[in-house]
Amino acid sequence: MAHALSTGQDMPAGGEPPSQPPTMLGSPLAHRESRWRGQGYADITKLREIAAKHDRLSTRNQQRAARLQVRMEKLRHHATILREKSQNTLARIPDVQQEISQYNRDIEASTNRTHGIQVGSDVTNLQYRIRKLQQKIINFQHKSHGYEFSAARKTQKSAELKVKADHYLELSKLEEQEAKAYRERADRLQLATEGQLTSQLPPPPNAPPGGSGPA
């Protein structure tokens, strides 16, 4: 009788055995898994931050290269204009040479009339004009060479900027590859973390015996 009473006191109302307390919620394994998941998401965030940093560096290098390319185009344009000015300056020399030739013929005709004796102010005036025209040719040549020199300097500067622009483009490409690699690592880690979480989910409850619900 006493045994029955004691057994009845241990049994809850309804005669059902007491439910077992959950053993996994506060277990060390669950704690370690929670820490592992938190660390995994922290690593994913860190990888994506590094990828974003490399993206910013890639964009910055592209902007630097673009600014250099604009300067290159301006220098090339100015060099082209200077070369055109040089050619235009040289193109004026033949006309001056024709004037000199005409003056020389006039001097020769005047000398022939005087049997090789150069007399009169006309001949002296023509010789003076010839020397002035010869100096004019020299000035044209000097000016043309100055244009060519300036154009060559601008072309050289453009070539130097091209080397720098190519360097920045190469750096941009490398930074882009680094960003891509970090994003892929973050994606793989995220898939692994989510796959681990999915494998630890409890299975769905089985269908109740006796077939489906009421018809």
Contact 107, 127 (CB under 8 A): yes
pLDDT mean over 108-131: 75
Q: What domains can be seen in the chain, in order of their start residue? A: 43-195 (1.10.287)
Rg (alpha carbons) of the chain, rounded to whole number: 48
Per-residue pLDDT tens over the stretch 136-172: 999 999 999 999 999 999 999 999 999 999 999 999 9
Give residue 14's pLDDT.
Answer: 45
Give residue 15's pLDDT.
Answer: 45
Residue type, 51: A
pLDDT at 53 over 80: yes
Give residue 16's pLDDT.
Answer: 46
Higher pLDDT, 51 or 119: 51
Residue 111 pLDDT grade (very low, low, confident, very high; cuts 50, 70, 90): confident
Half-sphere CA count of 193, side-chain side, radius 13 A: 19
HEC assignment per residue over 11-29: CCCCCCCCCCCCCCCCCHH
Give residue 58's pLDDT.
Answer: 95
Interacting residues of 58 by C-beta distance below 8 A, sequence separation 6+: 171, 172, 173, 175, 176, 179
Most confident of 31-35, 57-61, 203-207: 57-61
Contact 74, 157 (CB under 8 A): no
Residue type, 209: P
pLDDT mean over 42-70: 94
Give residue 206's pLDDT.
Answer: 57
How many percent of the chain have pLDDT more than 70?
Answer: 68
Give residue 205's pLDDT.
Answer: 56
pTM score, two decimals?
Answer: 0.62
Beta-strand runs (E) in the chain: none
Helix (H, G, I), strand (E, B) or coil at 175: helix
Task: Measure the CA–CA gap between 157 and 118, rounded to whole angstroms.
Answer: 55
Could you give the C-alpha distances from 87 to 11, 97, 136, 159, in angstroms and in order? 114, 16, 16, 23
Distance of CA 28 to the CA centre of its chain: 51
Residue 204 pLDDT grade (very low, low, confident, very high; cuts 50, 70, 90): low
